[in-house]
Amino acid sequence: MDKHSSKKSKDINRTTQNQYTADQIVVLEGLEPVRKRPAMYIGSTSILGVHHCITEIIDNSVDEALAGFAKNIWIIIRKDNSVTVIDDGRGIPLDVIPKYKASALEIVMTKLHAGGKFDSRSYKVSGGLHGVGASVVNALSQWMRVEVVRDGKTYYQEYEKGSPKTSVEQVKKETNKPGSLPSAFLPKISSGTRSSFFLDKEIFKEGITCQFDIVRKQVKERAYLVSSLYFHMYDERDDREEHFYFEGGIASLVEAYNRNKQTLHPPIFICKKDDLVEIQAAIQYNDGFSENVESFVNVINTIEGGSHLTGFRMALTRSINDYAKKIGAVKNGEESIIGEDTREGLTAVVYVKMPSQNLQFEGQTKTKLGNTEIQPLTQSIVNEALDVYFEEHPQDARKIIEKAFLASKARLAAKAAKDAIIRKGALEGASLPGKLADCQSRDPSESEIYIVEGDSAGGSAKQGRDRKFQAILPLRGKILNTERARLDRILEFTEIKDLVIALGMGIAESLNPEKLRYHRIIIMTDADVDGEHIRTLLLTFLYRHLPYVIQKGHLYIAQPPLFKIQSGKEIKYAYSESEKVLILKSMQNLKAVPSIQRYKGLGEMNPEQLWETTMNPQNRLLKHVTIEDATYANEVFSMLMGDEVLPRKRFIQTHAKSANLDL
């Protein structure tokens, strides 16, 4: 090709690229958009997305209960990790929709934005919003089978990655097809829906193995919220089963959250409804320092809050201030109690029921309520109810006000202490701790900091590290138990102060996550009882005061080897007892008897060994710290690190046999 032809060809290609024509428009049909961009519909394709899919199908059955039809819901986790959800409601309609020339069942399962929740005659209150829940799960499943029992007959349809494999057919007899395998846990129902699905491993690359305890929490929440509804959970993988039925509502849920804490008063229950909206709230203070507030809309846990939670908090602050002024606890000119003060030791649940067709959530994952009209309504109802309660229960009101005043004084003291301890820009990194061996990189995404127990291990870590991206902060001894301390006392503790300064993002109201200096924070302690205790104290501080590093996946725990096994010049490291056994078996044919050294402290390793076994990214093992269930984590920290001895004693007695101690 000559130069002229080549230039002409390039000009044609450039012209073609610059043109935007109808030929370049791609239309994704049916459920293709879901498989193309699954995270848009379920939030994540991690294990969180797996649990979200299960919840979507459960909530379809819960909606039947909210509509007044279903009385029981069964959830069965099969041995192959498929899931079956059954209800005894009306059953999905089967008649043909003329417009589509297909069964209503097929339309509901294969079309986005199709369902009964857009029509208030079918579902006045429901967890579903966009009508995409069942169809999205179908699209993301390798196979799915839905059986509908109506008028004494059972019908079914099967799907593969969202597409129908069969027409809607009547079940004549039991088959061995996926999803229809017999189970000892399958109930006989006279009407209702059975949905079985096996999620697609091509979509959920981290695995589809759901965790029973996470599904259990979601189910238990719904049992509290929907009174007189029985939940039956079975796990065929380990023959586990649990059943839930509550009549106490969200007041019982609040009591459950405060089970291991010293409470100041009985739960305050608020409920008011009109033709369209029902607002419920339950409030109970404990003598702790942390806040635990959950919010729900139509049994959906709005983990990011929204207008209902904002209205509740505004009402709580106003009612406490108004009553404090009324009884003379706050005089004119004095500083009022602010919202932050009313949240210390607060346990509460805010629950809104409203027509599903009026709901405005942020995204299909339904994590934040967006209806602006709900904020003033919630604020007015809670404000009025609390004013009445405080008048009728003055002793409880005074306890709550005293709690808020103590929090206010502690807040002001903590602010003064923080300003005195780490002023002059120390939090921004202007004056890093002297014992911190910082890394050369200033890019947080490639930088990591090892929080190391003891000066000896800290010295080895400093010598063995890669200075380009690894920083070392040695800690001397055990830090303060921050579960039992206020911020002013916490910041007086040198080791914690140094850690806060080293991380660089501040604390409390000065917290700025964008200034975090390391995106991998690695706790490295000895493999003994003291090391475990120090690790627990660090986890408690980070969970209570810097939860961002856990929520965003920045926290890790180093896994140093337990054994050094040497035969001649050959050296191998074992990170567990089982690995030690395997290594010793592999050395059986050697003439020399292997020597085994049990590492009890990081300081027993020289810098080269510490680098090779625990700090080298090519070889090391790191345990990633995450929070799957924040409420459960809150209960565990309160139980293990709080003031109440009896719950901790019961926990130790229950789990004593599973402990592996090397004293």
528 is catalytic: yes
Residue 394, both tokens: 């003055």
For 604, other C-beta atoms within 10 Å of its C-beta total: 17
| Residue whose entry in the numeric block shows the structure tokens 């089978």 | 145
Residues 6+ positions from 353 with CB-CB distance below 8 Å: 125, 273, 277, 278, 280, 297, 298
- DSSP class per residue in 59-70: HHHHHHHHTT--
Residues 6+ positions from 532 with CB-CB distance below 8 Å: 525
Residue 27, both tokens: 């239309």
526 is catalytic: yes
Strand partners, 616: none
Residue 309, both tokens: 């939670």
Which among 528, 579, 604, 629 is annotated as catalytic? 528
Which among 448, 526, 612, 635 is annotated as catalytic? 526
**Rounded distance between C-alpha atoms, residue 131 and residue 48, angstroms:** 21
Q: Return the DSSP state at 611.
A: I
**Rounded distance between C-alpha atoms, residue 318 and residue 390, angstroms:** 12
**Rounded distance between C-alpha atoms, residue 84 and residue 77, angstroms:** 7
453 is catalytic: yes
Residue 491, both tokens: 């910041």
CA torsion angle for 338, 339, 344, 346 (degrees, to 10)? 140
Continuous H helices in 151-265? 212-225, 249-257
How buried is 594 (Cβ within 10 angstroms: 0-12 exposed, 13-18 middle, 19+ buried)? middle
**Rounded distance between C-alpha atoms, residue 108 and residue 164, angstroms:** 12
Neighbour-count burial for 357-370, b at 16+ CB within 10 Å, e otherwise: eebebeebbbbbbe
Which among 530, 532, 579, 604 is annotated as catalytic? 530
Selection from 38, 364, 91 nearest residue 199 by Cα: 38
CA torsion angle for 523, 527, 532, 533 (degrees, to 10)? -100
Provide the 3-class DSSP secondary structure of residue 636: helix
Strand partners, 448: 470, 520
Residue 39, both tokens: 């995270």
For 163, other C-beta atoms within 10 Å of its C-beta total: 11
Selection from 626, 621, 637, 515 nearest residue 576 by Cα: 621
Selection from 46, 9, 19 nearest residue 210 by Cα: 46
Query: Beta strands of 109-255 (E only): which ranges?
Result: 141-150, 153-160, 163-164, 169-170, 192-199, 230-235, 240-244
For 550, other C-beta atoms within 10 Å of its C-beta total: 19
Provide the 3-class DSSP secondary structure of residue 562: coil
> What contacts 24+ positions apart, CB below 8 Å, involve 465-468?
465/437, 465/611, 465/615, 466/611, 466/615, 467/439, 467/440, 468/439, 468/440, 468/441
What residues are labeled active site?
Answer: 453, 526, 528, 530
